[in-house]
Amino acid sequence: MLPAARISSRTRRPIGHALTSPSSSASSSRSTCSAFVTSPSRPIHSSPPLQPRSKGKGAYREGEEGEEEEVDEAEDGKSAEKTKDKETETRSSSSSSAADGVGASSAANGAAAGGASGGDGSEGGSSSGSSSSESSSSRQLTSPTVPSVYPQVLALPITRRPLFPGFYKAVVIKDPHVCAAIKESLKRGQPYIGAFLLKDEEGDADTIENLDKVHRTGVFAQITSVFSAQSSKKDSKSGDGEAKDDDSEGLTAVLYPHRRIRIDELLPAHGSPQHAGGNLTPKDDGAHQDSDSGVVVSKDPSDAEAAAKGSPAEHIPSHGAPYQTSFLRNYPVSLVNVSNLDAKPYPKDSQVVRAIKSELISVFKDIATLNPLFRDQIANFSIAQGAGNVFEEPEKLADFAAAVSSGEVGELQDVLEALDVEERLQKALVVLKKELMNAQLQKKISKDVEDKIQKRQREYFLNEQLKGIKKELGIESDGKDKMVEKFKEKAASLKMPEAVRKVFDEELSKLQTLEPAASEFNVTRGYLEWLTNIPWGVHSPENYSIANATTVLDDDHYGLKDVKDRILEFLAVGKLRGTVQGKIICLVGPPGVGKTSIGKSISRALDRQFFRFSVGGLSDVAEIKGHRRTYVGAMPGKAIQALKKVGTENPLVLIDEVDKIGRGHNGDPSSALLEMLDPEQNGSFLDHYMDVPVDLSRVLFVCTANTLDTIPQPLLDRMEVIEVSSYTAEEKRHIAKGYLAPQAKEASGLKNANITLPDQTIEFLIKNHARESGVRSLRKLLEKVYRKIAFNIVREHGETVFPEPKGELQPASEEAVDPNKVAGGSESNAQSVVPPPTPSDSKVSSIAGQNEPSEAEADNKVPARDAPPSPPPKTTTEERKPMEVPPSVNVTITIESLKEYLGPPAHYKDRLFTRNMPSGVANGLGYLGNGSGSLMPIETTLLPSKEGSGGSIQLTGKLGEVIKESANIALSFLKSNGYSLGLAPDEKTNILEGRNVHLHMPEGSIGKEGPSAGVAFVVSLTSLLTDKLIKPDLAMTGEVSLRGMVLPVGGLKEKLLAAHRSGIKTLILPLANRSNVETDVPENVRKAMEIHYVGNVWSALEVAFGEGAWSQRAREMKAEEENEEKERKEEEQRERDAQTASSPSAPEPTKGEDGANKDQPVN
């Protein structure tokens, strides 16, 4: 008999191969069925013998309106009694079989004996029927007949391997709707389905959504028995006592394939899933034909009767089917129209067929000699096929060879799809040959393993005998043996690589030879401890759920939409690839924006362990790569320490402040960091201390930095940079109200106090006190406010409301603290909680660095070094309980009270001039070093020069070299274009004849650098020379070239946030920065201001001053820019057309968002 194989819970894998057919006798069928089907629980359904739908008594016929009417109630009652008697006998038979230790299902036995027929289903049915008649004269059972034509069946996709006619298989079905449909089919006496192999070997589905996902050639199978997939009926009820639906646990169905079929059409599912816990039994809507769904229903009872008698297919009308399938429309299952596939006729005396059969039989014999289980299968197959020579039937022989072989899925499916007998035999022979090769190789491997095991067992027995002899002789072993055993046990539970295992064995052997007193002993022991503490082969399961990651990121951070999207994209790619290794994330942004907390959120979203270390100011390579073992106190680097601490091979390691890494005489840590982070190198990271390759490729490294300028370029090239920009005022308000204020309130002991913080107060606090890009300063200010409130509450209510607890502190016993030691200044005194009080009659003074003796010591009344012992300090083990603020205390933090708590605002005024701005003054925009923006006013004035000179410029305001060059470029542009700008009467006149320019940028203590003030310089100087005023609510930024072109700059988001905060209404920005503004700047900020994008200085002057001498040139430049943009788009269209013509399947290139050159550097 065949052992029953285990059923996978995830895929419907075959339990085993039955080498029997229902066509055999009842006794033989019962015994062979028990060989391949074992059930952990009793069957909940068993396929009854199929009754033909005749017009006799006790039968059902289909009415005109699709309803099944009972013909004879009396006869039906008798039939029900017979069925009940049969089920009782079946249960008793099942009990007897289980008692004998066979473990088979009685339902399976009964179905195999009489419910399923072999081959075409005729002979087995007759044999089974006659046997049943002889065994029981009191009951008459109609012979079951498998329909020869069944054009529409329930389709069930299977995985791993196809089914072959004549060989039982068991499949597990998880879909509750499919389970319910199968139960309904069994109740109606139609236990037939179509089984088709999924093309995806890892797929797990019970329905077919698309024909492309399955092989169209399958088998027409009969469900012989059905079992619950639950492990035990004890678990059929949930914890709250409610019974679970059997369908929710799935079913195990035993299938007997009868013939090959092919899918002609997949019908859409009309049923809809019902709510959880709902009844899956559909209503009977009668027998009718739905023209839309394509469901074929029998209309004429004679058709069913003809099919039950085994009449040919041509005698059945095309409009009906012998069995009704309309009830399956109420379930969301797969229905298919199928057609039978018969083997092509072949000449009986074919020499090729005969030769292939002989070769198959020869291979069978060879495999049987190597595998006893295979020999039993061949014997059972021969017995099951009756008295004839089964090896003379090439169709069955090919199917048997494929069914018992563990070949490739594609090869087995090819055998199933082959209709030509000669082709089928050849393909089956290929599969069987591979099985023979595997059996031979398995035999060779088994022999080699047995030889090695015998040698190791001999060594093991000798070592155990040696240990026993030592014990009997009384040779005591020191703790070294226990230590060695401990290391061996820890190493046995780890999946060490072969090279590491070799080093471990060598070090362990060396430890056994060393004496515990030797210095090398401790070094070797420490090395082995580190070697066994590394989690070799241990990793935590990862979670790539996008929904879970979104929830975690939203819970931990407000705003930062772009950053969250980048992280979710990163996780989506990891979900598809199955891993995120090979990527290094670098979070870059100003201080306080949450870079470190984002790294923690990523570890929470992935369910990875978290480890953080900072490399800011690190200058020693040994901190990363460890020390050599030759040094005293040597230890591994941070990477090995991280693996030891987290206990898994796939943690998330956050490397903080990677832009501040140092470089000293001990090497360059950035190069060592490169080896640790580089995906091409960290698969075999070599630590100086461990000196064995350690796999860091599964570690997800996340780095943080404030700027990219100081990160070494080779290291930066390997990083996936994610910019964390500054928060807007609205985002800060939400963060303060939802996160920072509650935390500060609880930290100040006011968790349940009635303290109100209005939104107006938070906005005033952000605008006038906390303008930095992050929220760290805002958190400090809120903590300060709540500390002040806590102090005021305690001071106002005093000890009556907040009494100091009494009787908690007790003097320590003399046994606990020795007074002599305390007074004598010993180590105990140094570790005491409260220092001993100085005697009141002693005075300590310090003159010239020396202590003078007290008056008592000078009079020799008290010895100078023999002072009386002071009392011991008071200690306690009880924790102090927090005090509750009375409900009567109500505090509202207003804008006026902020002045009391925080003092005057740190930022009082943004604009230098709010109205009536004089000529020569313009508003520029700057990006500060802390990640925030600022409004930067520019002042210019004319100074008289010496006779015959003029045109020089004086710059003040702590300006850098680049911004000075930008001012000189602006002045040179005005000098060379003075006539066209209307500043000079002719081209030869110097606009600054006899005059000099003084340019100043206020807040002279703050350094200023960068080229982005070029446009503001030109506009300010033009205002000065033309005496035209600039609107006070106008600001601008952009770099200017010597020919008057406006170039793009950086920091647009921070600059526009500062302009919005300062009340600016109109902005002049570079045309090339349009895409940056539309992408990075919030929509509410953009809509609150009128933004003009300019590509040249003439257009900027027209926006600032209106119509003037520069307007004509501005229109010409604008027309040229439009023509260039048009030509660029036409050129891109021509390139796309050319690519489409050359390769029609190639994807279209992505259009640029604007006309800016993507390779231009942005400052």
Contact 17, 167 (CB under 8 A): yes
How many angstroms separate the CA atoms of 1087 and 929, rounded? 27
Is-catalytic flag, 1055?
A: yes
Flag whether 1007 is marked binding. no
Beta strands in 757-832 (DSSP E): 810-811
- Bridge-based pairing of strands 700-705 and 652-656 is parallel
Tokens of 662: 């140092």
Closest CA to 965 of 707, 709, 1163: 1163
Q: What is the CA radius of gyration of the chain?
A: 45
Residue 771 to residue 780: CA distance in whole angstroms: 13
Q: In angstroms, rounded to a whole number, what is the distance separating the alpha carbons of residues 915 and 1031?
A: 8
Token code pair at residue 186: 């069994």
> Is 595 marked within a binding site?
yes
Separation CA 495–CA 538 (nearest Å):
8
Cα dihedral 1127, 1132, 1134, 1140, rounded to 10, equals -170
Q: Using CA atoms, how far apart are residues 1009 and 1005, in angstroms rounded to an integer? A: 13
Gap between the Cα atoms of 396 and 374, Å rounded: 17
**Residue 635 to residue 527: CA distance in whole angstroms:** 9
**Closest by Cα among 135, 89, 116, 152 to 29:** 116
* AA letter at 593: V
- Neighbouring CB atoms inside 10 A of 833's CB total 10
Residue 71 is labelled as binding a ligand: no
Q: Which amino acid is at 299?
A: K
Q: Which SS3 state, helix, strand or coil, does residue 270 take?
A: coil
DSSP of 468-531: HHHHHHT----HHHHHHHHHHHHHHTS---HHHHHHHHHHHHHHHHS-TTSHHHHHHHHHHHHH
Q: What is the C-alpha separation between 27 and 304, in angstroms, rounded?
A: 31
The span from the CA of 1163 to the CA of 1160, in Å, is 10
User: Which residue type does 95 have?
Assistant: S
| 993: Cα within 13 Å, side-chain hemisphere | 8
369 among the known binding-site residues? no
CB-based contact 1059:1089 (threshold 8 Å): yes
Residues 6+ apart with CB under 8 A from 998: 940, 941, 942, 943, 953, 954, 956
Give the C-alpha distances (Å, rounded to integers) separating 932 from 710, 728, 929, 1064: 20, 10, 7, 16
How far apart are alpha carbons 836 and 817 in whole angstroms?
12
The verdict on whether 1012 is a catalytic residue reads yes
Residue tagged active-site, from 748, 1012, 1023, 1062: 1012
Residue pair 420/449 in contact by the 8 Å Cβ criterion? no
DSSP conformational letter for 772: S
Backbone angles phi, psi at 995, to 5 degrees: -135, 150
Task: Give 680's DSSP letter.
Answer: T
What is the distance, to the nearest Å, from the Cα of residue 233 to the centroid of all Cα atoms in its chain? 36
Partner residues linked to 937 by β-bridges = 923
**1158 Cβ neighbours under 8 A, 6+ residues apart:** 1152
Q: CB atoms < 10 A from the CB of 863, how many?
A: 9
Rounded CA gap, 753 and 889, in Å? 7
* Residue 592 assigned to a binding site: yes
Among 396, 433, 745, 1055, the one annotated catalytic: 1055
In angstroms, what CA-CA distances link 212 with 204, 267, 294, 347, 763? Answer: 15, 14, 20, 36, 60
- Identity of residue 1003: E
Establish whether 590 is an annotated binding residue.
yes
**Residue ranges for the binding site for ATP?**
589-596
Q: Which residues are catalytic?
A: 1012, 1055
**Residue ranges for the binding site?**
589-596
